[in-house]
Amino acid sequence: MTQVLVADPHDASRQSLSAALADAGFHVLEATDGVAVLHSLMTHTQPLVVLLDEPLPELDAAPLLRLISLKPEARERYAIVLLTADLGAVIAKSMSGKMGKLPMYVVAKPLNLDSLATIVRLAARHLPVPAAPQIREG
């Protein structure tokens, strides 16, 4: 089951995104700010789709993504979906290298919740498939 970390400082928005993803069959974790996202990524060992609302309090998306991209395994462990109302600013930051070097999907807000599961499934294609449990005969 694909795991998704939903980071949004607005309770109603975060709960709406989380509910839509849970209804679509995803295991959902939540964070309210960039520091909480960083903490979750440091303690969670499974691959994750990381859904970030932009801007985030405490640690905004650009510095957060630069920090995440410092982890050698980040490109294989995290698929980033960035939700923003300011596509121009995100593109400018990305082109200047201020967003780190992680592949990401950038999605304009307001977001159509019906398309959210499709976007997350597309992003999850970049994650490794968990190994099937080994069955020992004996």
In order of their start, the domains of the chain are 3-108+117-124 (3.40.50.2300)
C-alpha 11/C-alpha 21 separation (Å) is 15
pTM across the whole model: 0.88
Each residue's pLDDT tens digit, 54-113: 889 999 888 999 999 888 889 889 999 999 998 888 877 776 677 777 888 999 988 888
pLDDT value, residue 95: 67
pLDDT value, residue 77: 93
The SS3 assignment for 82 reads strand
Place of tokens 């709960």: 15
Q: Stretch 11-28: mean pLDDT, rounded?
A: 97
C-alpha 26/C-alpha 106 separation (Å) is 20
Q: 113: which 2 tokens? A: 């919740």
pLDDT value, residue 81: 95
pLDDT value, residue 137: 62
Average pLDDT score, the chain: 89
pLDDT value, residue 138: 54
pLDDT value, residue 133: 53
**In this predicted model, which residue has the larger pLDDT, 101 or 52?**
52
pLDDT value, residue 132: 53
Bond into 55 cis (ω within 30): yes
pLDDT value, residue 101: 77
Task: State phi, psi for 73 to the nearest 5 degrees.
Answer: -90, 5
pLDDT value, residue 130: 62
